Structure 1
Amino acid sequence: MTEHRLPPVVARMWGREASPRYGPRPSLDLGTIVDAAIRIADRDGLEGVKMSSVAAEVGMATMSLYRYVGSKDQLLTVMADAALPEPPALHDQGWRTYLADWTRANRDFLLSRPWLLALGQHTPPAGPRSLRWADRAIAALADTGLGYGERLSIAATLSGYAIGQAALAHALNRTTDATDSTVGLAEYRDVLGQVLDPDGYPELTAAVRANAFGVSEEWVDDADFTFGLDLLLDGIQALIARGKR
């Protein structure tokens, strides 16, 4: 396998960047700068994270920040990894129990830091924290007989489900006003009731009238998340069973 040169941002995340042989010793480190950026994002949202605001937070000139991180995009990439908690520990529970806990924990940290949702994920995870989440998920499936490709696909599917559910919960729990283009939890059912007609949307109209959406005041630990998660886990169980025939 050809060994490619590590991209600078990946080398920084893993501490593989070569130290300069000459010049003054850096007065800070990347971890301190990233911690400051995360504090700003927690406090002011992602829009508050600017190279100038991060530099001010750590007490340095903005241009000096580029000695530690090459661009704002690189800073955001490192932040997205550093802001993750450690994944749930692997114990002796079965794969299904662990992956249920893993997916719920994945969703919960996104709910606690909604600015992570705004970052999106346009490239495969490459940081130490995000790869530890992937490693634990495929490790939980090690005794199922599934191949590495299948196990990685399962981890990606469950992660995507957690992201989608966190984004939905954040959107539905937010407060909206008359000028906002989004719909919050309190308005959602009412909006559907106003725009749907039984001729064009017969089943969806009937579902709204039957209160099938059943949105509650707290869209976090609800039956909808568990229902969807169980569907995915049942599918994994069926995949495992097929492989054992």
Structure 2
Amino acid sequence: MAKERALPPMLQRMWGREPVPRRGPRPRLDLATITAAAIEIADSEGLAGVSMASVASRVEVATTALYRYVDSKEDLLTAMADGVAPLPPEPAGRHWRDYLALWTRVQRDLLLAHPWVLSISRLSPPLGPRRLLWLDRALAALDGTGLDDGERLNVASTLTGYALTDAALVLSATAGFPEHDHTGIEGAADWGDLLVEVLDPETYPALSAVMRAGVMHGAEGWADDADFRFGLDLLLDGVEQLIERRARKD
């Protein structure tokens, strides 16, 4: 039996479980409005532009008034990571593999459209209603495949991890290296040329050979759909083989 625990105030608000006061004026704001304003700021300025003061200014209230709805910036980031997610596609009528391919792709595309989400999603498990709805739909798509509950959860988390990693690679390849970088590296090709210079072929035989072959030139292809699909198919092939092994055991 699951241990009962009191939800933190932010999660109560996200799940609509916060007690509604019976007296006094109705609140002027709500968490959804505040979250939407914070997402707009993050999209235009990055997470560095998101503060309690900037969000309060966007929704036209005093910063102190914002704390009535959000206890801290960390809570606000939690709400943003959930609020930016669209509703997941529905698995009904789709083969599990086709659905999970779409499910992973939409997550990757969301991260490319809102790069700041990477900084939050890598460090926090899904807690809000939107992100957990995504997890629910992935589990539903795998229902009837013969995988047990733990395996289905692992498949979903692995595919989410792939979406995060691929999005990070695409963004780094297209945006170049950070401004504070002093190596003179401006992109993947420069990085590959640098590795050719520093790698000792005797110590790093495989990596050195790949870099000397010029694999990093044209690495902008990381952003191409074919490259994303290549990695995704590797993962889904593994899931398919696992399902087949479970079926043979039965």
TM-score by length of 2: 0.91
1:99-158 residue CA offsets vs partner (Å, 9 max, x unmatched): 111111111100110000112443431111101110111111112011222111110111
Which of 197, 201, 205 matches 2:200? Answer: 197
4+ runs deviating over 6 angstroms: none
Residue 164 of structure 2 corresponds to: 163
Structure 1 pair 146/115, CA: closer, same or farther in 2 (3 Å)? same
AA partner of residue 169 (structure 1):
V
Residue 185 of structure 1 corresponds to: 188
Query: Mean Cα displacement is larger for which, 2-11 or 206-215?
Result: 206-215
TM-fit CA distance, 1:21: 3.6
Residue 245 of structure 2 corresponds to: 242
Q: CA–CA distance in 1 between the matches of 2:72 and 2:90?
A: 34
Residue 59 of structure 2 corresponds to: 58
Query: Mean Cα displacement is larger for which, 212-221 or 10-19?
Result: 212-221
Unaligned runs of 5+ in 2: none
Residue 119 of structure 1 corresponds to: 120
1:72-125 residue CA offsets vs partner (Å, 9 max, x unmatched): 111110010001122223242211111111111111100110000112443431
Identity of aligned residues (%): 55
TM-fit CA distance, 1:169: 1.2
Residue 9 of structure 2 corresponds to: 8
1:3-62 residue CA offsets vs partner (Å, 9 max, x unmatched): 221122211111111123444321111111111000000010000000000000010000
TM-score by length of 1: 0.92
Q: Does the Cα contact within 8 Å between 1:173 and 1:218 map onto a contact in 2?
A: no
Q: Does the Cα contact within 8 Å between 1:144 and 1:240 map onto a contact in 2?
A: yes
Q: Does the Cα contact within 8 Å between 1:110 and 1:117 map onto a contact in 2?
A: yes
1:204-245 residue CA offsets vs partner (Å, 9 max, x unmatched): 111112234454435322433222211111111111111111
Q: Does the Cα contact within 8 Å between 2:173 and 2:188 map onto a contact in 1?
A: yes
Residue 143 of structure 2 corresponds to: 142
Residue 223 of structure 2 corresponds to: 220
Residue 233 of structure 2 corresponds to: 230
Number of residues paired by the alignment? 245
Residue 102 of structure 2 corresponds to: 101
Query: Mean Cα displacement is larger for which, 177-186 or 103-112?
Result: 177-186
Q: Does the Cα contact within 8 Å between 2:34 and 2:55 map onto a contact in 1?
A: yes
Secondary structure in 2 matching 1:217: helix
Q: CA–CA distance in 2 between the matches of 1:154 and 1:121?
A: 17
Q: CA–CA distance in 2 between the matches of 1:141 and 1:214?
A: 39
Q: CA–CA distance in 2 between the matches of 1:91 and 1:29?
A: 33
Residue 131 of structure 2 corresponds to: 130
Q: CA–CA distance in 1 between the matches of 2:139 and 2:179?
A: 46
Unaligned runs of 5+ in 1: none
Secondary structure in 2 matching 1:88: coil
Q: CA–CA distance in 2 between the matches of 1:234 and 1:152?
A: 17
Q: CA–CA distance in 2 between the matches of 1:127 and 1:181?
A: 40
Q: CA–CA distance in 1 between the matches of 2:28 and 2:129?
A: 24
Residue 29 of structure 1 corresponds to: 30
Structure 1 pair 62/106, CA: closer, same or farther in 2 (3 Å)? same
TM-fit CA distance, 1:70: 1.0
Query: Mean Cα displacement is larger for which, 205-214 or 54-63?
Result: 205-214
Secondary structure in 1 matching 2:144: coil
The residue correspondences of 1:72-91 to structure 2 (distance < 5 A) are: 72-91=73-92
TM-fit CA distance, 1:186: 4.3
